[in-house]
Amino acid sequence: MSLTQPATRLIVAAFLMDFAIGLAGLGFIELAIALHASPLVLGRIGTIGGLAYTLGCLVSGRLSDRIGRRRTVFAACLSVGLAWSAYGWVVRPEQILYILPIAGFGMAFFWPPVQAWLAELSAAGGKVELHRNIGRFNMFWCAGLLGGPVACGYLWSYSHSLPFVVAIATAVLLAGIAWSTPRRAAGQPALAEEPTEPAHPQADLFLRLAWAGNFASSLAMGTVKTLFPKLGDTLGYPPELVGWLIASIHGGQILLFYVGSRTEIWHYRLEPLLLAPLLGASGMAVAYYTSSPLWFALGFAASGMCAGVTYVGSLFYSLHGHAADRGGKAGLHEAVLGSGLLLGPLIGGKLADELGLRAPWLLGAGT
């Protein structure tokens, strides 16, 4: 991989954005806990950003189909960084509810356009190149989400401002990367001249099954990432350990992304989409019963492996064979993801407030 290649720049940008999201996301949760937020407020904090993200994804992909990927992504990076910069004015946890919708809406104008942009840069190589680039893309963004919470744990222990400062600087860097990345690779044909492949006869079935799995997995992940810091705090876990345990979700995802990138055998096969939810439910059940950091890590990793299967299937089936409306399909893929991230903290926060901090893991297992 060379940074002179436009596709590689987008893959690196995916890592940087999710690293910044991991920093700022956990940073706002830790900030809310430090300001004595209740589980219900924490759930609302997780929900409000997911709502804005979901709504934004419904329009961002189609907008980028019209005005271009580069302009959309550039504006998204600046708006996210600007929203995060408001952390310094927060003195009550409820004030975070005004910041995160802006950040979430901005993120919605980053991910679907970047995914569609990557598919366009992969078009000349057909399904093989799309498969390879999606594999790299998924491993890199997931590595960013793995490293972000871990880094946040250490930076937060040193200074409560550092996670936000680093996240903001990263967003500015990303704006520069977006603006300097060519719209198309050298010698790449225009959209109307791209090679086409025949659609799979059951392509719509696989797309809808993958979207359903993507929703369930994101609901469980949103619950864990929003509410586990509170449970970890009551168990006496330091912020560094909480960061590592949340990162174990993405460790499981990366493992599945790597395996999926090495083979195409899973393309248009039902077994992975039907068996993955059983693995995810098992992981959430383990998290419900344990108080051991090791078993939390194993349970969250199992759930992350489930999410890896459903996410890569949802993204691949959304982009493959949809040259005319890649942005729109990528937007729907991310809107499904965002709706799970929205509802997980909302329902999980209510369950935690009424039934105890472990109740949300049953929600994750049930979905």
Calpha distance 310→337 (Å, rounded): 10
Nearest CA-CA partner of 314 in 52, 69, 111, 160: 111
Under a CB-based contact definition with an 8 Å cutoff, are residues 179 and 75 in contact? no
Number of structural domains the chain divides into: 1
Give the integer Cα–Cα distance in Å for 30 and 169: 20
Does position 195 have pLDDT exceeding 80, yes or no? no
In the chain, % of residues over pLDDT 70: 89
**pLDDT digit string, tens, across residues 9-37:** 999 999 999 999 989 988 998 899 888 88
Closest CA to 352 of 340, 341, 364, 342: 364
Q: How many helices (H) and strands (E) does the chain have?
A: 13, 0
Domain extent for 318? 6-183+202-366
Q: Which of 29-43, 320-334, 341-355 shows the lowest per-residue confidence on average (mean pLDDT)?
A: 320-334
The encoded tokens of residue 16 equal 């940087």
Residue 196 located in a structural domain: no
| pLDDT average, residue stretch 261-275 | 80
Using alpha carbons, list the distances in angstroms from residue 344 to 43, 149, 219, 244, 361: 8, 19, 4, 21, 10
Give the model confidence (pLDDT) of 113-124 as tens digits: 998 899 888 766
In 5-38, which residue ranges form alpha helices assigned H by DSSP? 6-34
Q: In this structure, is residue 216 part of a structural domain?
A: yes
Residue 188 lies in a domain: no
- With respect to residue 1, please indicate whether it lies within any of the assigned structural domains: no
pLDDT tens-digit series, residues 72-122: 999 999 999 999 999 888 889 888 999 999 999 999 999 999 988 998 887
**Tell me, what CATH number does 49's domain have?**
1.20.1250.20
Is residue 189 one of the residues assigned to a domain?
Answer: no
pLDDT band at 192 (very low <50, low <70, confident <90, very high): very low
Burial of 95: CB neighbours in 10 Å, binned 0-12, 13-18, 19+? middle
User: d(Cα 366, Cα 157) in Å, to the nearest integer?
Assistant: 35
Residue 3: pLDDT band by 50, 70, 90 thresholds? Answer: low
Whole-model pTM: value is 0.79
In a domain, 102, yes or no: yes
Query: Does 305 map to a domain?
Result: yes
24 falls within a domain? yes
